């Protein structure tokens, strides 16, 4: 039985916020969702760049509770994924629980089991628990390159694509060679006059084709949902289990196989030895987040595509000047320069008991208890918090594992068994010491690269053990690791 007037605030109506809402709804726990934008969908609403698709297979990148027989492709396009999330929110009655255009500004502890929330719409009152489902890659990073504001053409970050810009006849520059840039280049190369790709570091790319699902296949999924389930389990085994364990030093053969497939892809598909040399990374495959594309190598070899690997000197009115003195004249610059994975709930402010600021505590490094909670901040939980498994896995499964754990804690609060639950400092410190020690054996550290996985203090954002260990660790809360009062 839920305590009278008990209610939860979920921050964010993206993929994880929607799943959290579905879980609370099932448990009959009242909640409100605050969403800064005017629509649900998070990253799949914000990103609309040409070529946007998910690099985790569609039949894995879906909620466990909402299989979808109608995915059009093995790796479905971004707009379709956005429709999927919106559809789930709509059919499950979540949409009407969302307060749109309500960016959370402040979450402040007032008294035992009571947090007050203030949004751009004003004071929203008190909530007994707060769940931050604010996503991991939502704060765009623009590069610190001299003269960025001097550019006379149009420029924008990849996550804020300017659809007013016509592609035809334009000279595009793309800065960056991550998952985003490697999706944009093939999508625009045949539509623009020319495109220059500014590469600071080459990427390992695994060449997986993206086939459409024929109608018969979709019909078979519809008639036999268990086929979708076994595909989900199969893909989960490959991506979230085997691939994940290769990255954390638990499957050396798997890691070697990934390296072999990437090298083979490069050698088979890039014909000019000099271009091949320039596209060959010097680090271990898997160290940076692996790129999945069978379109990038053909695209970079189109006559109007230019790989620029001389470092950038500055940006000028006419384009990008490289350190060899050459001006690459451009009409449009796309910054495919990534995101800050340590932004979490910020720029909102979180003020805990005694005025403790989580923003201050997490200024240089974000540390949490098992990726879901923080000592000193009772009844405040994270979906996708620090050290969640990040990589080429399904984030949706990760979110669901955390949601299952959080839901059990919130149910205790809702039932009135406890007013407050907060992880102990001791359990959190022990967990983080183990993380630091285990991280040394992961490919992110041993692989000889730098990446967006690192924070200012050299800590890696991801999970250093197998995915199975992540699932087991969050199956049931260990109340002995909490202050329960
Ligand atoms: O960003 P990135 P992204 N001068 O950080 C370069 C997810 N995602 O948007 O490698 C020159 O990977 C930087 O160079 P370097 C996925 O998790 C998923 O592509 O640091 N270059 C790098 O090449 C992914 O990992 C999908 O030397 C500069 C690039 O910019 C994450 O989002 C699709 C620079 C940034 O690459 C981020 O991917 C797309 C500078 N000053 C994205 N600063 C799916 O399919 C940075 N760079 C699910």
Q: Atom 29 of ligand 1 has which residue's CA nearest to it?
A: 176
- Taking the centre of ligand 1 as the mean of its atom positions, its distance from the CA of residue 339, in whole angstroms, is 7
Where in the sequence is the domain holding 367, given as residue range(s)? 8-139+340-484
Are residues 317 and 460 both part of a single domain? Answer: no
Q: Atom 39 of ligand 1 has which residue's CA nearest to it?
A: 180
Asked if the structure places residue 391 within a domain, the reply is yes
Is the shortest distance between the CB of 138 and ligand 1 below 6 Å? Answer: no
- Using CA atoms of 400, 403, 405, 407 in order, give the dihedral in degrees to the nearest 10: -140
Is the shortest distance between the CB of 54 and ligand 1 below 6 Å? Answer: yes
Are residues 374 and 388 both part of a single domain? Answer: yes
| Pocket test residue of 200, 210, 239, 279 for ligand 1, highest count of atoms within 8 A of CB | 200
Strand stretches in 327-369, DSSP E: 327-329, 332-335, 349-351
CA 47 to CA 44: how far, in whole Å?
A: 6
φ, ψ of residue 147 in degrees (nearest 5):
85, 15
**Which residue, of 335, 365, 382, is where some domain finishes?**
335
**DSSP designation for 351:** E
Give which of 238, 301, 239, 243 is closest to 268, Cα–Cα. 301
Are residues 164 and 266 both part of a single domain? Answer: yes
> Which two three-digit tokens encode residue 379?
């009844």
Asked if the structure places residue 242 within a domain, the reply is no
How high is the pLDDT of residue 4? 77
Asked if the structure places residue 224 within a domain, the reply is no
User: 310-313: long-range contacts at Cβ-Cβ below 8 A with a sequence spacing of 24 or more?
Assistant: 311/200, 312/145, 312/175, 312/198, 313/146
Helices (H) and strands (E) in the chain, counts: 15, 21
List, for residues 264-295, the tens digit of each pLDDT value.
Answer: 999 999 999 999 999 999 999 999 999 999 99
Is the shortest distance between the CB of 452 and ligand 1 below 6 Å? Answer: yes
Is the shortest distance between the CB of 58 and ligand 1 below 6 Å? Answer: no
Are residues 203 and 271 both part of a single domain? Answer: yes
Are residues 129 and 158 both part of a single domain? Answer: no
Are residues 324 and 349 both part of a single domain? Answer: no
How many other CB atoms are there within 10 angstroms of residue 171's CB atom?
A: 19
Percent of the chain with pLDDT over 70: 100
Give which of 209, 212, 188 is closest to 332, Cα–Cα. 188
- Using CA atoms of 274, 279, 280, 284 in order, give the dihedral in degrees to the nearest 10: 180
Here the CATH number for the domain that contains residue 72 is 3.50.50.60
The CA–CA distances, whole Å, from 326 to 1, 274, 301, 312, 365 equal 70, 20, 21, 10, 39
CA 336 to CA 228: how far, in whole Å?
A: 34
Please state whether the predicted TM-score (pTM) of the whole model is above 0.85: yes
- Tell whether the model's pLDDT for residue 28 goes beyond 80: yes
Q: Atom 22 of ligand 1 has which residue's CA nearest to it?
A: 176
Is the shortest distance between the CB of 322 and ligand 1 below 6 Å? Answer: no
Are residues 274 and 199 both part of a single domain? Answer: yes
Is the shortest distance between the CB of 200 and ligand 1 below 6 Å? Answer: yes
Asked if the structure places residue 35 within a domain, the reply is yes
**Which residue, of 308, 335, 362, is where some domain finishes?**
335
List, for residues 97-137, the tens digit of each pLDDT value.
Answer: 999 999 999 999 999 999 999 999 999 999 999 999 999 99
Is the shortest distance between the CB of 179 and ligand 1 below 6 Å? Answer: yes
- Tell whether the model's pLDDT for residue 247 goes beyond 70: yes
- Taking the centre of ligand 1 as the mean of its atom positions, its distance from the CA of residue 52, in whole angstroms, is 14
Are residues 321 and 191 both part of a single domain? Answer: yes
Is the shortest distance between the CB of 46 and ligand 1 below 6 Å? Answer: no
Q: Atom 46 of ligand 1 has which residue's CA nearest to it?
A: 337
Token pair 């997490």 is found at 362
- Taking the centre of ligand 1 as the mean of its atom positions, its distance from the CA of residue 381, in whole angstroms, is 28
Asked if the structure places residue 235 within a domain, the reply is no
The CA–CA distances, whole Å, from 163 to 96, 148, 155, 168, 332 equal 30, 21, 12, 13, 12
Q: How many domains does the chain have?
A: 2
131 near 406, Cβ under 8 Å? yes
- Taking the centre of ligand 1 as the mean of its atom positions, its distance from the CA of residue 292, in whole angstroms, is 13
How high is the pLDDT of residue 391? 79
Are residues 181 and 304 both part of a single domain? Answer: yes
Asked if the structure places residue 414 within a domain, the reply is yes
Are residues 85 and 168 both part of a single domain? Answer: no
Q: Atom 28 of ligand 1 has which residue's CA nearest to it?
A: 176
C-alpha neighbours within 13 Å on the C-beta side of residue 102:
22
Are residues 202 and 313 both part of a single domain? Answer: yes
**Which residue, of 335, 360, 386, is where some domain finishes?**
335
Is the shortest distance between the CB of 338 and ligand 1 below 6 Å? Answer: yes
Ligand 1 closest atom vs CA 181: 19
Ligand 1 closest atom vs CA 335: 30
| Pocket test residue of 43, 49, 180, 300 for ligand 1, highest count of atoms within 8 A of CB | 180
How high is the pLDDT of residue 1? 62
- Tell whether the model's pLDDT for residue 244 goes beyond 80: yes
List, for residues 171-203, the tens digit of each pLDDT value.
Answer: 999 999 999 999 999 999 999 999 999 999 999
Are residues 300 and 359 both part of a single domain? Answer: no
Give Cα 48 to chain centroid, integer Å: 15
- Taking the centre of ligand 1 as the mean of its atom positions, its distance from the CA of residue 242, in whole angstroms, is 24
- Tell whether the model's pLDDT for residue 3 goes beyond 90: no
458 near 301, Cβ under 8 Å? no
Give mean pLDDT, residues 230-239. 95
How high is the pLDDT of residue 358? 98
List, for residues 29-54, the tens digit of each pLDDT value.
Answer: 999 999 999 999 999 999 999 999 99
- Taking the centre of ligand 1 as the mean of its atom positions, its distance from the CA of residue 281, in whole angstroms, is 15
Is the shortest distance between the CB of 145 and ligand 1 below 6 Å? Answer: yes
Asked if the structure places residue 431 within a domain, the reply is yes
Is the shortest distance between the CB of 181 and ligand 1 below 6 Å? Answer: yes
- Taking the centre of ligand 1 as the mean of its atom positions, its distance from the CA of residue 253, in whole angstroms, is 27
- Taking the centre of ligand 1 as the mean of its atom positions, its distance from the CA of residue 179, in whole angstroms, is 6
Mean pLDDT of the chain: 96
List, for residues 58-105, the tens digit of each pLDDT value.
Answer: 999 999 999 999 999 999 999 999 999 999 999 999 999 999 999 999
Give which of 369, 371, 345, 378 is closest to 359, Cα–Cα. 345
* Torsion sign (Cα): 214, 218, 223, 224: positive
How high is the pLDDT of residue 392? 75
Is the shortest distance between the CB of 137 and ligand 1 below 6 Å? Answer: yes
Ligand 1 closest atom vs CA 178: 19
Asked if the structure places residue 246 within a domain, the reply is no
Q: Atom 7 of ligand 1 has which residue's CA nearest to it?
A: 179
Kind of pairing between the strands at 332-335 and 98-99? unpaired
């Amino acid at each position: 039985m839920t305590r009278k007037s008990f209610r939860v605030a979920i921050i964010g109506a993206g993929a994880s916020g929607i799943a959290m809402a579905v879980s609370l709804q099932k448990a009959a726990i009242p909640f409100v969702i605050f969403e800064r934008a005017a629509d649900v969908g998070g990253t799949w609403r914000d990103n609309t760049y040409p070529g946007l698709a998910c690099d985790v297979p569609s039949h894995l990148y879906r909620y466990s509770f909402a299989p979808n027989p109608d995915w059009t492709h093995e790796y479905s396009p971004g707009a379709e994924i956005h429709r999927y999330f919106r559809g789930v929110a709509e059919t499950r009655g979540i949409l009407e629980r969302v307060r749109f255009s309500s960016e959370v500004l402040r979450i402040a502890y007032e008294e035992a089991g009571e947090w007050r929330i203030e949004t751009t719409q004003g004071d929203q009152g008190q909530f007994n628990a707060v769940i931050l489902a604010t996503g991991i890659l939502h704060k765009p990073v623009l590069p610190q390159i001299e003269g960025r504001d001097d550019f006379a053409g149009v420029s924008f970050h990849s996550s804020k694509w300017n659809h007013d810009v016509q592609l035809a006849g334009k000279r595009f520059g793309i800065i960056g060679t991550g998952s985003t840039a490697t999706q944009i280049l093939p999508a625009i190369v045949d539509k623009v006059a020319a495109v220059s790709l500014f590469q600071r570091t080459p990427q390992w790319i695994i060449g997986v084709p993206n086939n459409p699902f024929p109608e018969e296949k979709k019909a078979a999924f519809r008639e036999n949902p268990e086929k979708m389930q076994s595909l989900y389990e199969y893909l989960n085994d490959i991506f979230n289990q085997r691939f994940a364990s290769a990255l954390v030093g638990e499957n050396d053969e798997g890691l070697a196989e990934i390296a072999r497939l990437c090298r083979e892809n490069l050698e088979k598909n890039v014909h000019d030895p000099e271009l091949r040399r320039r596209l060959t990374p010097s680090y271990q495959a898997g160290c940076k987040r692996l790129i999945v594309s069978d379109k990038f190598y053909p695209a970079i070899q189109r006559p109007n595509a230019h790989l620029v690997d001389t470092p950038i000197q500055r940006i000028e009115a006419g384009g990008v000047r490289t350190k060899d003195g050459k001006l690459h004249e451009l009409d449009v610059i796309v910054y495919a320069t990534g995101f800050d994975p340590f932004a979490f709930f910020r720029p909102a402010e979180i003020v805990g008991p005694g005025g403790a600021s989580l923003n201050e505590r997490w200024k240089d490094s974000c540390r949490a208890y098992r990726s879901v909670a923080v000592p000193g901040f009772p009844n405040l939980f994270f979906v996708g918090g620090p050290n969640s498994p990040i990589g080429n896995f399904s984030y949706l499964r990760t979110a669901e594992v955390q949601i299952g754990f959080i839901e059990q804690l919130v149910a205790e609060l809702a039932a009135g068994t406890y007013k407050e639950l907060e992880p102990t400092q001791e359990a959190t410190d022990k967990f983080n010491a183990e993380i630091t020690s285990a991280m040394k054996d992961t490919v992110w550290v041993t692989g000889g690269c730098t990446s967006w996985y690192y924070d200012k203090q050299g800590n890696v954002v991801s999970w250093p053990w197998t995915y199975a260990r992540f699932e087991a660790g969050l199956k049931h809360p260990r109340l002995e690791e909490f202050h329960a009062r």
